[in-house]
Structure formats: C-alpha cells, structure tokens
A and B are shown apart, each in its own frame.
Chain A
C-alpha cells in the first residue's frame, strides 16, 4: 500500500530565507503532485512532476522528482509572507487515485 510522508510537518521561517520540504513515497511512481492550501480554502495545484529528474519552477517555488529515490522536494527561495500556507505532496496509487502526505504548514515571519 502506497504511503506518502512529508517532512517537516511544520516550518517557521523568516522572510528572505531558503528552505526545502521533502516528500518520500513508498512504492514506485512516475509522477508526483504538489498542492497548496490556504486556511479555509481548497487545494490549488502547484506542480505535476511527470518523470524522473523533472524540475519545475514557479516564482520562488521549485519542485523536483527523483523516482529512483522515491523522493520529491519543494524548494522555497527567499521566502515571503504570501507563501505562508500548507503544502501537500501526493502520489498516484493503483488505479491512479492520489494518496496525500500529511502536509507541511509553512509560516513565514516578516
């Protein structure tokens, strides 16, 4: 059974700093999803990584995928307060259903 684990679960950082969120998954998968959720809101799709070595960037966020290591990372560069949210990774299990990690709550302090 596919398991997806994120760390850290909570991250408090100062504006301008860099940090990385890690997402490990337990069984082979050729793609990986990242979502953002603001309090009281639904999920916003950030990235879909479709192959080993895939790297995608949007603004201060960059995601990568290593299928051999079963690891994806979400790197935050020079964090700003607007990035404060909960970030989820998800991997597809059998039949394509998405299994989610626990979520990482990011708090960026001015």
Chain B
C-alpha cells in the first residue's frame, strides 16, 4: 500500500495570496490526483497530475488558478493562486497504486482564506 503525506496540514491565508501544497508518496505510483472537499461536501476532482507534462484539469478548474507540478513518480504540488474566501476548503492528494486498483488519500490540507 502507499502512504501519502501532505504539507502543510493546515494554513490560514490572506485574500490575494498563493499557497503551495506538497504531496509525497512513499512509493512510485502511476497516477496522482488533487481533490477539493468543501465543508460538509463530497470530493471534487481538480486535476490529474501527469508526470513530466501538464496536468489534466476538470471542468471548472484552470491552470492559472491551480497550477500543478509532478516532477517524478512520487511527488506533486498544487498551488492555489490569488486566493479568495471561496477557496477555503480541504485539499486532498490521492495516488493510485501501480500494481493494483487501490487508490489512497493523503491526510489533507485544511485551507482557510480570510
């Protein structure tokens, strides 16, 4: 199984600033994803982080707002840019095990924008 860590675990940020969230997996994985979970809601996929190429964004999410990097098979970053209070949410990194169908989730980053 894969163990995923995220940094920071939480942050309080001012409107207009940016925050970069790091995701580290303890083994090589074929796919990495970024999700957002607003309070009391389900998970919404932001994008698939592709190793060595641009991320694939879901409808309603754009690269300028949520730039993503994935330099190798174990690490990815998500930046939330020019934040507004509507970006307050939990951001979750997820990874698909390369040898099975299991998909794991990191502990999440709780972001509050004031």
Contacts and interface: CB of A to CB of B under 8 A. Distances in A.
Contacts of B48: 95, 97
Contacts of B108: 42
A45 B107 contact: no
Contacts of A50: 101
A100 interface: yes
Chain B interface size range: 20 to 34
A98 B106 contact: no
Contacts of B43: 43, 88, 90, 100
B28 interface: no
A25 interface: no
Contacts of A35: 105
B105 A103 contact: no
A87 to B, nearest CB: 11
B103 interface: yes
Nearest to B96: A96
B51 to A, nearest CB: 14
Contacts of A90: 43
Interface in A35-71: 35, 41-43, 45, 48, 50
Contacts of A103: 41-42
A45 B56 CA distance: 24
B45 interface: yes
Given A42-B108, A45-B102, 11 more contacts: A42-B92, A42-B107, A45-B103, A48-B102, A88-B42, A97-B33, A97-B45, A97-B48, A98-B33, A98-B45, A98-B103
15 contacts: A31-B101, A42-B105, A42-B106, A42-B107, A43-B43, A43-B105, A45-B102, A45-B104, A88-B42, A90-B43, A97-B33, A97-B58, A100-B43, A101-B42, A103-B41
